[in-house]
Chain A
Amino acid sequence: MERSNVRRIVVSGALGAVSAVMAITPLGYLPWFGGASLTIMHIPVIIAAVLEGPIAGSAVGLIFGVTSLVKAATAPVGPLDPLFVNPLVSVLPRLAIGFAAWGAFKLFRGRFLPLAAGVAGAVGSIANTALVLLALGLTASAQLSGAFGVEVSALPAVLATLALSNGLVEAAAAAVFTSSVIGAWKGIETARGRSKLSGEGR
């Protein structure tokens, strides 16, 4: 089916709202081992990129980024929140998630759909982790070394450890969630327009 522009705009808006609600409530975090939490707020961005293309993905990424910026500025909770007031950290990396996820989805699209969606989820999530940490390292190295209690020279190692320990689990979670949502949604879409009973016999 040819996707109209109106559809793309409205779907981006709806997924942007899902992302924004996750970002302002505790729902955007999965509880994980040792009190750490995994973010799943970027998953709507990946879903938008898979369903409606990279431009929709970056529109949702923009909404997600700006929401996290406003939240960091008006209701900060964690010690790292003030660093996210900088748009270079909170908005710019999020614009790239959509492109990364869409590219990965394109590569695998011919194959099994849930697998392609899962790969897109993982790639989008890794792009988010890597770019946000890169932006943090580039813009706020002095403050970060204060927050982690290490010297500036040791910062790349700390950020890399963080990327591996949290980032990989987040990528796995994003793969599972994206694949489930896309599977459920595409299942609905293909079944639409005909009776469910007619499909049951096959």
Chain B
Amino acid sequence: MKGLEFWKNVSIGRYVESDSPVHRLAPATKYLWLLAIMIPVSSSRSAVVVCASALLPLVFAVLARVRIRFLLRGFLPVLPFIALAATFQVFLSWPGDASPVLAAVGPVSLSLREAVAVVMMAVRFAAMMLAIGLFTSVTNEGDTARGVEDLFSPLARIGFPARSLALTIAVAFRFIPIVAGEFESVVKAQAARGADFGTGSRGPIRKAKAYLPLIVPVTVRALERAESLAEAMEARCYGSGPATRYVDSGGVATDAVARIAAIAWIVAAFVAPALIASVS
């Protein structure tokens, strides 16, 4: 009965409790920096910008006292994939590749351009994984939801439901352990009645059919709980007037500086390569 205890394997991110300068930043500031790293890393064409942005999460990890090895652990399973992509780059040559050849064995050659492409791909993946891993280890669940509201608060003035979205995310966080527990008890109940979840050697169609009496009750139970929660909230007049917040975050000078720095970084990441290109 291995694999029945889903709850043990359920974790979104890995929050590390600590009192570092990075942990103390307001959630919206952390989101801004996440964007400031993700956008250049995923879409900038300049190698310098990508590498500089990839170094940022490492700097923040040191500041946040999160071990870098802990963040890079997730990178190991990806290495075979990158190796495969690298091999393929080596075997196929780019059309019109005039860059110097670094190494050649028979008909197969590794040119500078191919090597750069492989390294850049690895750097991009590593940087994005580091950034997201770090964000989840310095931001707890409540802050993740509150940050969404703060981040979208400028849009809320033109009617974007920032508060509703934040509440949806907070409810989802609260429901995750409940739903996981629900799955566990339904799987156990079905297994006790002889259901087979991926252990036997029966045909795939029969295995797929076994999931129907699992998904339906869990979803319906989640909907029932949601109905009761909605009723309880309506009974307490949620949504009938302005609501206040229990935790108020933001407004500290460090946050203002960090936010301006994040926006400046995004702008610089796209303006600087264009400027350099126009000068030279």
A44 touches B167 (CB 8 A): no
Contact flag A25-B6 (CB < 8 Å), given A143-B85, A146-B85: yes
Q: Does A107 contact B (CB under 8 A)?
A: no
B174 / chain A contacts, CB cutoff of 8 Å: 13, 17
A24 / chain B contacts, CB cutoff of 8 Å: 9-12
Q: Does B38 contact A (CB under 8 A)?
A: yes
Q: Does B132 contact A (CB under 8 A)?
A: yes
Give the residues from 28 to 44 in chain B that come closer than 8 angstroms, CB to CB, to chain A.
38, 42
Q: Mark B128-151, 1 if CB is under 8 A from A, else 0.
A: 110011001000000000000000
Q: Does A11 contact B (CB under 8 A)?
A: yes
A149 touches B88 (CB 8 A): yes
Contact flag A188-B220 (CB < 8 Å), given A30-B208, A77-B77: yes
What distance in Å separates the Cβ of A119 from its nearest Cβ neighbour in chain B?
A: 18
B220 touches A185 (CB 8 A): yes
Q: Mark A1-45, 1 if CB is under 8 A from B, else 0.
A: 000111101111111111011001111001111000010100110
Q: Mark A62-82, 1 if CB is under 8 A from B, else 0.
A: 110001011101111101111
What distance in Å separates the Cβ of A98 from its nearest Cβ neighbour in chain B?
A: 13
Residue in chain B with minimal CB distance to A139: B42
Residue in chain B with minimal CB distance to A86: B42
B225 touches A14 (CB 8 A): yes
A67 / chain B contacts, CB cutoff of 8 Å: 12
Q: Does A175 contact B (CB under 8 A)?
A: no
What distance in Å separates the Cβ of B15 from its nearest Cβ neighbour in chain A?
A: 12
Could you say which of B89, B216, B227 contacts A146, with CB atoms under 8 Å apart?
Answer: B89
Q: Does B92 contact A (CB under 8 A)?
A: yes
Which secondary structure dominates where chain A touches chain B? Answer: helix
Q: Does B21 contact A (CB under 8 A)?
A: no
Query: Is the interface on chain B under 10, 10 to 19, 20 to 34, or 35 or more residues?
Result: 35 or more
B229 touches A17 (CB 8 A): no
Cα of A16 to Cα of B74 in the assembled complex, Å:
24
Contact flag A184-B216 (CB < 8 Å), given A14-B223, A21-B179, A86-B128: yes
Residue in chain A with minimal CB distance to B203: A33
What distance in Å separates the Cβ of A147 from its nearest Cβ neighbour in chain B?
A: 6
Which listed segment binds A: B46-54, B233-241, B252-260, B270-278? B233-241
Q: Does B264 contact A (CB under 8 A)?
A: no
B207 / chain A contacts, CB cutoff of 8 Å: 30-31
Give the residues from 52 to 101 in chain B that come closer than 8 angstroms, CB to CB, to chain A.
74, 77-78, 80-82, 84-89, 92
A44 touches B219 (CB 8 A): yes
Q: Does A59 contact B (CB under 8 A)?
A: yes
B164 touches A82 (CB 8 A): no
A70 touches B132 (CB 8 A): yes
A74 touches B14 (CB 8 A): yes
B226 touches A13 (CB 8 A): yes
B212 / chain A contacts, CB cutoff of 8 Å: 176-177, 180
Complex A-B, nearest 7 residue pairs according to Cβ-Cβ distance, in ascending order: A13-B171, A17-B175, A146-B85, A14-B226, A16-B172, A146-B88, A73-B132
A-B contact pairs, 21 of them (CB 8 A): A4-B234, A5-B239, A6-B239, A9-B164, A14-B171, A15-B219, A16-B171, A17-B172, A20-B172, A21-B183, A40-B215, A62-B165, A63-B169, A70-B12, A79-B80, A80-B81, A87-B38, A87-B42, A143-B85, A147-B85, A188-B224
Q: Which residues of A are in contact with B by a Cβ distance under 8 Å?
A: 4-7, 9-18, 20-21, 24-27, 30-33, 38, 40, 43-44, 47, 51, 55, 59, 62-63, 67, 69-71, 73-77, 79-82, 85-88, 142-143, 145-147, 149, 151, 173, 176-177, 180-181, 184-185, 188
